[in-house]
Amino acid sequence: MVVTCCQLTEMITDRSEGKLSSEQEEGCARHLAWCDRCRTYLRQMELTIDALRGIPGEPLHDEVRAALFAQFQRRKTTAE
């Protein structure tokens, strides 16, 4: 399936939870292969998710976490 930037940002959360179908997963992977913007978005999201899961490393301060989520929300809104 062809995945747009907008769809990809919608699917990222499900992807991190392993909820995507193999077709969706393949569409995401193909999109990420050429789209720098979504790769950056995914990287930031993964870093945030890792931090939220409490994986050892530098803890994120609450305000940093809030700022990241605000950024995701803005990107999501402008992508629509």
Interacting span for Zn ion (CB under 5 A) from 20-28, 36-44, 51-59, 65-73: 36-44
| 35 binds Zn ion per the rule CB under 5 A | yes
Residues 38-57 within binding reach of Zn ion (CB under 5 A): 38
| 32 binds Zn ion per the rule CB under 5 A | no
Helix, strand, coil percentages for the chain (3-state, nearest 5) = 75, 0, 25
Nearer to Zn ion, 5 or 51 (CB): 5
Q: How far is the CB of 38 from Zn ion (least distance, A)?
A: 3
CB 44 within 8 A of CB 54: no
Nearest-angstrom CA–CA distance, 16 and 18: 6
- Residues in contact with Zn ion by CB under 5 A are 5, 35, 38
